[in-house]
Every structure is written in structure tokens, then in C-alpha cells.
Amino acid sequence: MTRLLLDTSAYSALLRGHEEIQKRLRRAEDIFINPIVLGELRAGFGRGRQGKRNQGYLQRFISSSRVTILTIDAETSERYAFILNSLWEAGTPAPTNDIWIAASAMQHGLALLTTDSHFLRISQVIVYHVALS
């Protein structure tokens, strides 16, 4: 059973028709997204020329019975702190929002689907990194 949390880069690659991302999502039994990703996407839509169209795609995507929107709560913040401290100790920083995304994956036992390689430095989660070509 594959349960995937999409990060912003994976969703964006999906919109651009990236075949490997599409294939992994077709095989996934459950797909998750969190409010951090939704916020990043909506902020990007607001700056783009296709904002209304992209918002419509996102609404259809999250309306699917296979997609669940996670919550960010106190337990997520504990995971966030653990990951952040681990990254500091290793001297391998990562963007703050991405640490929150990884914390959600860790909290819910989800694999993270991304095109961003810095997630590979976060040992607390299983990362499916797909290179953009």
C-alpha cells in the first residue's frame, strides 16, 4: 500500500505533465497534501497568469476521494522541532516550509513525493525524489 504526501514541487510537476510523478500518483492508494503545500501553491497561483485556472485544477485535485488534506497540530510541531534540530546538528539546513512538510510525513507515516533533493537530507522520512528532466 502506497500512501504519499505531495510537496509543492511534486504537485507543480504533476500540473506540467511530468510522467514519473503521474505514474507514482496513479499507483498510490492514498494521496495526502497539507496546508503548507496548499498555501505555497495558492501564493504561486496569485503571482501567475493562470491563477484562476490553476486554482480550479487544485480544487478538483483535492476534491478527489483519494486525496486527504492533513492538519498541522501540536504533534506536527514536535516532529518539526526534531527534524529541525537534526538538520542543525548535521549542518544541513532546509527551507522552513519543507521541514513542516516533512514533519507531516513523519507524523502520519507517509512517504514524501518531491522533486526537491534537499528532502533527501531529512532521514526521518521516506522520500521519493523524482528528478526533473
| Ordered per-residue pLDDT tens for the chain, 133 residues | 689 999 999 999 999 999 999 999 999 999 999 999 999 999 998 887 888 999 999 999 999 999 999 999 999 999 999 999 999 999 999 999 999 999 999 999 999 999 999 999 999 999 999 998 7
Q: CA quadruple 96, 120, 66, 18: dihedral positive or negative? A: positive
Residue boundaries of the structural domains of the chain:
3-129
Identify the architecture of domain 3-129 in CATH. 3-Layer(aba) Sandwich (3.40)
Distance CA 7, CA 78 (A): 20
pTM: predicted TM-score of the whole model, two decimal places: 0.93
Distance set, CA 97 to CA 11, 47, 70, 72 (Å): 15, 19, 15, 12
